Amino acid sequence: MKFNPDLITIAGNWKMNGHKAAAAEIEKLINLINETDANIILFPPFTLISDFVEISKSSYLSIGGQDCHHKDSGAFTSSISASMLRDAGADYVIIGHSEARALHGNDSSNVINKTYNAHENNLVTIICVGEDLSVRSEGKHYDFISKQLENAVARTSNRNNTLIAYEPIWAIGTGDTASIEDIQDMHAHINNTLKDFDMFKKGNPSILYGGSVNPKNAAQILSINNVNGVLVGGSSLDHIEFNEIIKSK
């Protein structure tokens, strides 16, 4: 299903989870989804993208990759290029997730070049930003996020091919969700920052929240101003939980 920036986006990042048997989980999820008024995306591990694309065709579910290299090809052992994701049938890619930054040393120039390459291959990008606890404790989180946006949003970005995901690192996989005030204030800051970007003069991109999103808190999070969707981790692995989040929008 083509991305619609005017709709809520519910995205699930499977991270390093799932084998071929997980196809049954996706089939169950597709049978539950009867919504046409949301962008619903799953990001399985690279090994499952082709299978999930095949299973989900003609459904409301879209498939993406969890990362890509900033080059299209070359001697980059263990890497996946944006063109490979597109060849596998993916329509989306996550760029700059905190776990990828930490594991692979993604500096700012690397992240923005990934964004350029993804857009060249007609992938919609979900660009992740987020601060750790030390940055927030020092009161530097707004400046930190502004800098991350400047170093990740490419000139090729627009509201039709780009989403921003705010994921406070201290709330990813910890069970600790940022307070409603924390989310509201940071999403307002991101929205105001993006208004000054030339490429968004025709409208800001969607801003997602990620960080221990689950069926119990999803509705409240989605009701916050400037929250246009959620990027879900562990709860996206279970078709019942993920569908509950979809229905909570």
Which amino acids are annotated catalytic? 97, 167
Which residues, in sequence order, are CB contacts of 63 under 8 Å at separation 6+? 41, 42, 43, 44, 49, 52, 53, 56, 89, 90, 91, 92
DSSP state string for 88-137: TT--EEEES-HHHHHHHT--HHHHHHHHHHHHHTTPEEEEEE---HHHHH
Angle made by CA atoms 145, 210, 43, in degrees to the nearest 5: 115
Which residues, in sequence order, are CB contacts of 17 under 8 Å at separation 6+? 45, 237
C-beta atoms surrounding 57 within 10 Å: 10
